[in-house]
Each structure stands twice: as C-alpha cells, then as structure tokens.
Structure 1
C-alpha cells in the first residue's frame, strides 16, 4: 500500500467518525425536550493498520448526569408531587460540539482532497 493510499485511508476513517459524531449530536439536539432522554456521547478510538493510525468510533455511551426536573402537574409523566424528569441535553454544549465536529470534518475533507490532488499530479509527472 503506497503512502497516498494510507493518507486517504486515514482521512476517510476520520471523515466517517466525524459523520457518526454529527449524527449523534443531531439526535441529542432533536431530543432535547424529550422527557427522560439521556444525551449520547461518542468516543473515538485509533486502530493501527498497515503502519497507519485509523480513527474509528467506539461504543456510544449515555450521559449518566442527573436529568432535569420540571414542575408541571398537568404533564402526563408527572409524579404525585407534579414533577417529571426532562432530558440532560444542554443545547449550547451540543451546538458547540457540532461546530467542532463540522470543522474537523471539513479539515479531513481538505486533507483527503489535497492528497488526491498530489497523487494525480504525481501520476501526470510520471507520464511525461
């Protein structure tokens, strides 16, 4: 496997990992008002193959922090005190994480494109 293929593989694995992270972040944002919803956390792992360190998504975990308590006696999930458990999603954190993941995705896409351009430039030089 040549060095260009290795670089493309690393970049592609990072793109896939960030896409998975963005998917889970968007699920968290869309369920921010769902009672009892726990935020999903994505962890990355590196796997060494062929002398390169590819990125992969580890197990998706649920955030075990305390759920928000809301007072609304008319809510169908309210207990005898009139409280129910909301979600533990904080929108500002999720939006900041989504921006970080998006920028990381864009950087890896740029690296993938630059590697592809260098590879095709090398092939053009070798043809001459």
Structure 2
C-alpha cells in the first residue's frame, strides 16, 4: 500500500461518514413530521448500511455506502383529535425517530470523519517528507 492508497481509503471513509451524517440530519429534521391526512403514516426513520470493498488491482480494502433503508420499528401514537392525521379514535402516528439515537450517530460520524481526516493528513505529511529527503 502506498501513500495514494492510504489517502484514497481515508477519502472513501470520509465520504461514507458524510452520507451517514446527512441521513442522521434528515432524521432529526423530520422527527415531528406527521402525516397530513386521516390515518396517514408519518416520516419513517432512515438507516444507512456500509459495505467493505476491495480494489482488485491494488488489494486495498475500503468502504462505501451499501444503501439507505428504512427503520421498520412501530410508530408511537399521540392523542390529538384535532390533528388532520388523527385516526377515528383521535390518535396520531408519530415518527419513529429518537433524537438521542440520531445525536449519538452524528457524534460517531464526526469522530470517524476526523479519524479519516487525520490519517489523510499524516499520509500527506509523510509523502512530503519522503519527497524532501529525495531532493
């Protein structure tokens, strides 16, 4: 593995964590988004999955986003008969988004992003030092 491979792996990790952060932010932004018609489903929490990839030419493993899915946990209900999405009994389905889970996910994504950034900076610094030694 050379310096460019290390930088490429770190860049892939940063892209994956950027997408993870986007999904968590979308979930947080929609944590109160209910349906707009009687009995309609509210916003459903999105999930993200990653996949390890292998570059056959260099033999370097990396990561990429495998897909964006949906969390199928049941919705909570809240009694609010005046809400447009209330069912016949006056209950409104609320999104299955837990703010604490999303905040923890954003912190984890931030730390992983920073670790990849540090690795990239160290690799660049080592490459620069090597070039300076050769001069």
| TM-score range for the pair, normalised by the shorter chain length | over 0.9
Residue among 20, 30, 48 paired with 2:54: 48
Deviation at 1:70, TM superposition (A): 1.0
Determine if the alignment matches structure 1 residue 94 to structure 2 residue 107.
Answer: no
Deviation at 1:84, TM superposition (A): 1.3
Distance in 1 of aligned mates of 2:130 and 2:73:
52
Deviation at 1:79, TM superposition (A): 1.1
- Cα RMSD (Å): 0.8
Aligned to 1:74: 82
**1:1-128 equivalence runs, <5 A:** 3-35=2-34, 36-49=42-55, 50-127=58-135
Q: What SS does structure 2 have at the residue aligned with 1:6? A: helix
Distance in 2 of aligned mates of 1:85 and 1:122:
60
Distance in 2 of aligned mates of 1:117 and 1:33:
46
User: TM-score normalised to the size of structure 1?
Assistant: 0.96
Residue-pair matches, total? 126
Deviation at 1:54, TM superposition (A): 1.2
- Uncovered stretches (5+) of structure 2, i.e. residues with no partner: 35-41
- Uncovered stretches (5+) of structure 1, i.e. residues with no partner: none
- Structure 1: which 4+ aligned runs deviate by more than 2 Å? none
Q: What SS does structure 2 have at the residue aligned with 1:70? A: strand
Deviation at 1:28, TM superposition (A): 0.4
